[in-house]
Chain A
């Protein structure tokens, strides 16, 4: 997918004026955001579990080579195959080859962000293989030819009426806007696809070195039908998904659903180990795991290593004021919200995505809610520095930052300048208490008033109070 992240500003402006999108996004605060708070309150150990979840991922990231080797050995023991892919193109080719060797016409897919990252669907289609997304949200956006707008709810940007319109066009049935009937329609259509499919492709939330297992987490049960019905199952996962043991998986699972949707546990957590065993009445005959690097080994030991702890829960976006206003598509690539603002520059290059680390108020909510405590604002700050270093911002911004930097490093001068500015602004704005328009501040005043300063700076007030102390 070609990134369009540089158009963040104009897309965000359009998003703010889109009533359907604003309605759809409004539900996140009362739904997932509130759900997370309640779920955390119900589990007294939640904060300690977050610390442990962070430590497990840190430990795995410090020993990835050994854990990957252990994982591979167990997969082979269980009769599966492991394929290593250095980049997106290799991963696409490997999946295509597996599909071709199975003579696949149709492949079903359960939600995989890695498949989105490598643009797998377009590639398979070009090779004459029809990929069918089975997660209801992914199915909806596949029909609309859109990228996901959220990690957990890929179609969260749509209202019920928009889905009703889409299904009317696609399914050729009389229009209904009853959610139960809409879900029923998708269930019926996709049920046939499951049965037709030659290959099932799933992602993985975790890979377990101890057992060579892949773990999927869903609410719909689509991963189980995707991997359970076709002859061939392909798991596509990035390297950093590997963790030591099932015990570690349970700790991470305890914080995953609670952080994502506020559920105590997702409806289905499935641990898959190898192909079907002798005597088994169902299950795939082949079990493949594609391990994708795609730049991740380069993040190990870098300023961005912490990002590899991410377990894709979506809490950072559910709690981000920028995401909740602009929606996911404004971010212009596969990963959205605060985690996307850190990851997208990594994958597509800072020169194609430097708007994203700036699309943040640095309020810190994302870091506060992250189940594995990723310092997201800090990581965005690293990208901003990188952007400044590479001169990727307009010269006016650079000069402005330069001027501010000059002042900020000279406290006496800084105080004098702010004293003068606050004094003038205070007098000018005394009557109304705010400015509807202000030269050089149109960026602010075009959409809201600027409160007028009181007339004296903090430092002036501080000194005065110190003096008047008894």
Chain B
């Protein structure tokens, strides 16, 4: 037995000494635990987000703006490059961008913005703006849900001071549970990192005054795209 196994046995042993379950209780406990681990069911879901798609998009937009995110609705994926360029111009930033190497974003037609210098890949400390694709949005609190993958590195949404995120309108769910259920349905196990993002980075650690851009992005722009088809 390794040291770790010994310590593990001691801790679990202490717990079992306290619980002192009868065989029947133990069987019942195991059944309950298995049920809750293998077949988790939602607890109370607030009524707030339980709306039709347009209602959810509207609520999502309001909630995200309440936490200082910029939200823009675009009819087509092909509108993303122009919206990105306009965002950079609006904030007096260089026309430079690192983009997640996701097939959807690669098909957005960035050639339409010849002034925009862009690179597909992960962000490093020199990148001022990053663009990636969200898995879902949650209307309840205006929250984005990002799932890591080879083509969607996580640092893109954390290292650059400006974070732009494409969110397909049809993927705005009412509650976190519904978005997570969709992830389970599509992928089974969660990817390495699932990031729920609600507004840009912030801190209240200096005299409880709200300051944006503590470590993560100072600005968060959400591009809600209705039609994700390329071209």
Contacts and interface: CB of A to CB of B under 8 A. Distances in A.
Given A183-B214, A279-B150, A228 B158 contact: yes
B230 interface: no
Interface residues of B, number: 75
Nearest to A254: B46
B38 to A, nearest CB: 8
Contacts of A86: 7, 10-11
Contacts of B175: 250
A27 B29 CA distance: 46
B121 interface: yes
A163 B206 contact: yes
A276 B7 CA distance: 28
B205 A70 contact: no
Interface string A217-238: 0011110110011000000000
A179 B207 contact: yes
B209 to A, nearest CB: 5
Nearest to A268: B197
Interface of A: 24, 27-28, 31-32, 43-45, 48-49, 52, 56, 59, 62-70, 72, 78, 83-86, 90, 134-137, 140, 153-156, 158-160, 163, 179-180, 182-184, 186-187, 190-191, 195, 209-211, 213, 219-222, 224-225, 228-229, 239, 244-248, 250-251, 253-254, 261, 263-283, 291, 293, 297-298, 300-301
Interface of B: 4, 7-8, 10-12, 14-16, 18-19, 29-30, 32-33, 36-38, 40-44, 46-48, 63, 66-67, 121-122, 125, 140-143, 148-150, 153-155, 158-159, 175-177, 180, 189-209, 211, 213-217
B165 to A, nearest CB: 13
Contacts of B11: 68, 84, 86, 239, 291, 293, 297
* Top 5 closest pairs, chain A to chain B, by CB: A221-B216, A279-B150, A245-B40, A220-B214, A137-B205
B137 to A, nearest CB: 12
Given A65-B16, A160-B209, A280 B215 contact: no
Contacts of A153: 204-205, 208
Contacts of B16: 65
B155 A229 contact: yes
Contacts of B4: 83-84
B23 to A, nearest CB: 15
B207 A300 contact: no
B216 to A, nearest CB: 3
A183 B215 CA distance: 9
A78 B188 CA distance: 13
Contacts of A134: 215
Given A220-B201, A279-B149, 15 more contacts: A27-B208, A52-B44, A135-B205, A160-B207, A179-B207, A209-B33, A222-B215, A222-B216, A246-B40, A247-B177, A250-B176, A250-B177, A273-B192, A297-B14, A297-B18
A269 B46 contact: no
6 contacts: A65-B12, A163-B206, A224-B216, A244-B36, A278-B150, A281-B153
A248 B122 contact: no
Contacts of B203: 136-137, 183, 219-220
Specify which of A160, A264, A278, A279 lies most central, judged by the most chain B CB atoms within 10 Å of its CB. Answer: A264
A270 B194 contact: yes
A272 B215 contact: no
A24 B41 CA distance: 43
A65 B189 CA distance: 23
A248 B158 contact: no
A121 B48 CA distance: 43
Given A153-B208, A158-B207, A220 B202 contact: yes
A283 B214 contact: no
A59 B36 CA distance: 10
Contacts of A281: 121-122, 150, 153
Contacts of B154: 224, 228, 282-283
A154 to B, nearest CB: 8
A90 B3 CA distance: 11
Contacts of B149: 277, 279-280
A66 B15 CA distance: 10
B122 A182 contact: no
B67 A267 contact: yes
A280 B208 CA distance: 37
B204 A219 contact: yes
Contact of A271 (B44, B193, B200): B193
Contacts of B215: 134, 187, 190-191, 220-222, 225
Contacts of A280: 148-150, 153, 192
Contacts of A160: 206-207, 209
B33 A250 contact: no
Given A135-B205, A246-B180, A271-B194, A45 B46 contact: yes
